Structure 1
Amino acid sequence: MTDLEPAAAVEEALRGNGISVESLSIDESVSLTYLTAFPDVEPDHGEVGRAVTTFLELAQSDEWEPTTVEATILRSEGDVQATWRLEADWIQAYNDYTLDDEELSQRVLDTLYEGGDA
């Protein structure tokens, strides 16, 4: 992945983990929009977990400099299922072993907002 631009490398990693990326931009933070494979009323926590894990792995392998991730989950074009956030300091704490899986998962789930505008 090191031959790719940061956004392309992140997108490739997400797609490799089964995340259907619709749009991705990296500036001060990461803005991710993806189409869910589970267009139910509630977002699939496993799918959110795969996306989060992708960012954690990229940061651990120094392929991406951790920044806050703002994600929007779509059921279909224009139909927002939910949004969630992964803070840069949570990524750092997790990779420093000061934040465990359960705590990180709970923090991300606490940011989950179902429906509405992104």
Structure 2
Amino acid sequence: MNDLEPVTDIEEALRGNGISVESVSLDETVSLTYLTAFPDVKPDHGEVGRAVTAFLDLAQDDWEPMTVEATIIRSEDDVQATWRLEEEWIQAYNSYALDDEDLSERVLETLYQGGTA
């Protein structure tokens, strides 16, 4: 597997869940920027949920979970919000130690409107 395959897999999974990916990079974490389909003042929780679902699905396959740092943009220079999905939460969810509601609550607690946290 080359370095491009994990990024390509992530992009494909996100796009398959209706997320308009602007950029994805991998280092110690996954850095994701995506263009929202809901450019309101507040981020759409359903859209955040679809992005989270893509990472949960990837973790059930061959992808080794990593913390995700996501930035939601309305346009190139207009950040709507940021959120985070911790590696430990992905592992706990996929081992049934966290349910949908608990995971959703944790992610939404990291949601920061108006830019970077």
TM-score (norm 2): 0.94
For residue 116 of structure 1, report the CA deviation from its aligned partner: 2.8
Aligned mates of 2:13, 2:116 — CA distance in 1: 26
Q: Deviations over 1:23-76 (max 9, x none)?
A: 1001111000000000000000000000000000000122x1101000000011
SS at match of 1:9: helix
Structure 1 unmatched runs, 5+: none
SS at match of 1:41: coil
Aligned mates of 1:16, 1:110 — CA distance in 2: 25
Q: Amino acid of the residue matched to residue 8 of structure 2?
A: A
Query: Which residue of structure 1 aligns with residue 65 of structure 2?
Result: 66
SS at match of 1:37: coil
Aligned mates of 2:116, 2:74 — CA distance in 1: 13
TM-score (norm 1): 0.93
Tell me the number of residue pairs that the alignment of Structure 1 and Structure 2 aligns.
114
Matched, 1:46 2:70: no
Identity among equivalent positions (%) equals 80
Moved over 6 A (4+): none
Q: Amino acid of the residue matched to residue 82 of structure 1?
A: A
